[in-house]
Copies of this chain bind each other. A is one copy, B any other.
Amino acid sequence: MCRFLLYKSNSPILLADLLTRPAHSIIMQSFNCKLRLDMRRPMNGDGFGIGWFDEPRTQGCIFTSTLPAWSNTNLQRLAEKIKSALVFAHVRATTGDTATSESNCHPWQFGNLMWMHNGSIGGFERIKRRLQNELRDEIYLSIQGTTDSEHAFALFLNMLDSPATRVEFSHEELRQAMLATIAQLNQWLDEAGVEETSLLNFAVTDGQCVVCTRYITSADLDGASLFYSSGSEFKSEADSGQYRMVKANRREDVVVVASEPLTYERSDWLTIPNNTLLVITPRLNVHLHPIRDKYWNPRRRQLAC
């Protein structure tokens, strides 16, 4: 089971304050995960990736490694220097027979778009060929690895006009492409008779807005966990390693979405309901949209976390 984190704010944060210094950072989660669905491979030590944007309307930067995040000295040093107002971070546990290689590390980018995924597409091998055949050449040929996650990104890109060259996208457009991606996957999985459950926590950004989902192909089960928090600043309480989401005023200057809470203050965090799409606009407004397809079930009981 992987983990991801995305951060968007009005002013840049030092990556160390988000990734390496918090006592319950995504990197510490990589060996101390409390909220897991899948205990067979409980640890996220099969590589990680970080993506960030330094200015709007440009391609982001990505740093990936197959070494575990917690022992990566380059990550430790870069995080002390790089600031960004829009960050994606992902730690990975390989699933099935997928190789550990940098090509298989999240996030991926294509043009100005960046993508990551927490979960897996059940029975992916049974729809892989069909998915690839649907892709336009420039997208098909851009695939560097073998994961279901990168292929889902390719399918998403295929829903957009000119993803390689466009500088920005409306959040409405990204939202529709995300919904179309999930709908298309569902259709193919159904037609292939796949019965395994898929966990589709996707996140995508064009450097300006963010669209992400908490989604499971089941009307009963609980999807992979996803939380968000917002406030005026994400910062450390003294030098304790304990971070808090400070809510100094009513403005939202910071939004964080994460597979697990990054702070010990549980009230900082709201659970994103199952089968919900979340949008963060360029101005940091957050909208939750239920995904009302056949797996929508408002009476589904959320597991306590």
Q: Which residues in A have some Cβ–Cβ distance to B below 8 Å?
A: 31-32, 41-43, 45-46, 54, 61-68, 70-71, 73-74, 77-78, 80-81, 94, 99-103, 125, 128-129, 132-133, 137, 140-141, 143-146
Number of copies of this kind of chain in the complex: 4
Instruction: With A32-B42, A45-B45, A143-B146 as known contacts, state yes or no: A100 contacts B129, CB within 8 Å.
Output: no
A to B CB contacts below 8 Å, 28 in the list: A31-B31, A31-B42, A31-B43, A32-B42, A41-B70, A45-B68, A54-B81, A61-B78, A61-B80, A61-B81, A63-B77, A64-B73, A64-B74, A65-B74, A66-B71, A73-B100, A99-B102, A99-B144, A101-B102, A103-B103, A103-B145, A103-B146, A125-B137, A125-B141, A128-B140, A128-B141, A133-B133, A143-B146
| Residues on the B chain within 8 Å of A94, using CB | 71
Q: How far is the CA of A96 from the CA of B68 in the complex (A)?
A: 16
Residues of B within 8 A of A145 (CB): 103, 146
Contacts A67-B67, A103-B145 supplied; 20 other A-B pairs, CB < 8 Å: A31-B41, A31-B43, A32-B42, A43-B43, A46-B71, A54-B81, A61-B80, A61-B81, A62-B77, A63-B77, A64-B73, A64-B74, A66-B67, A67-B100, A68-B68, A74-B74, A99-B103, A103-B146, A133-B133, A145-B146
Q: In whole angstroms, how far apart are the Cα atoms of A157 and B231 in the complex?
A: 45
Say whether B61 contacts A73, CB under 8 Å.
Answer: no
Bound complex: CA A63 to CA B77 (Å): 8
CA distance A73 to B146 in the complex (A): 16
- In-complex Cβ contact of A43 among B45, B78, B132, B133 (8 A): B45
Contacts of A71 in B (CB 8 A): 45-46, 66, 94, 100
Query: Cβ of A73: which chain B residues have Cβ within 8 Å of it?
Result: 64, 99-100, 102
Nearest B residue (CB) for A125: B141
Q: Give the complex CA separation of A94 and B67 in angstroms.
A: 13
Task: Give the Cβ gap from A94 to chain B, nearest Cβ, in Å.
Answer: 6
Which residues of B lie under 8 Å from residue A42 when comparing CB positions? Answer: 31-32
Of B74, B100, B133, which is within 8 A of A63 by CB?
B74
Q: Which residue of B lies closest to A49 (CB)?
A: B74
Are A129 and B132 in contact (CB-based, < 8 A)? Answer: yes
Question: Smallest CB–CB gap between A47 and chain B, Å?
Answer: 8
- Residues of the B chain whose Cβ atoms lie less than 8 Å from the Cβ of A128: 140-141
Report the bound CA distance from A78 to B137 in whole Å. Answer: 28
| Residues in B whose Cβ lies below 8 Å from that of A43 | 31, 43, 45
3 shortest A-B CB distances, which residue pairs? A101-B101, A31-B43, A45-B45
B61 touches A77 (CB 8 A): yes
Given the complex, which residues of B lie within 8 Å of A133, measured CB to CB?
129, 133
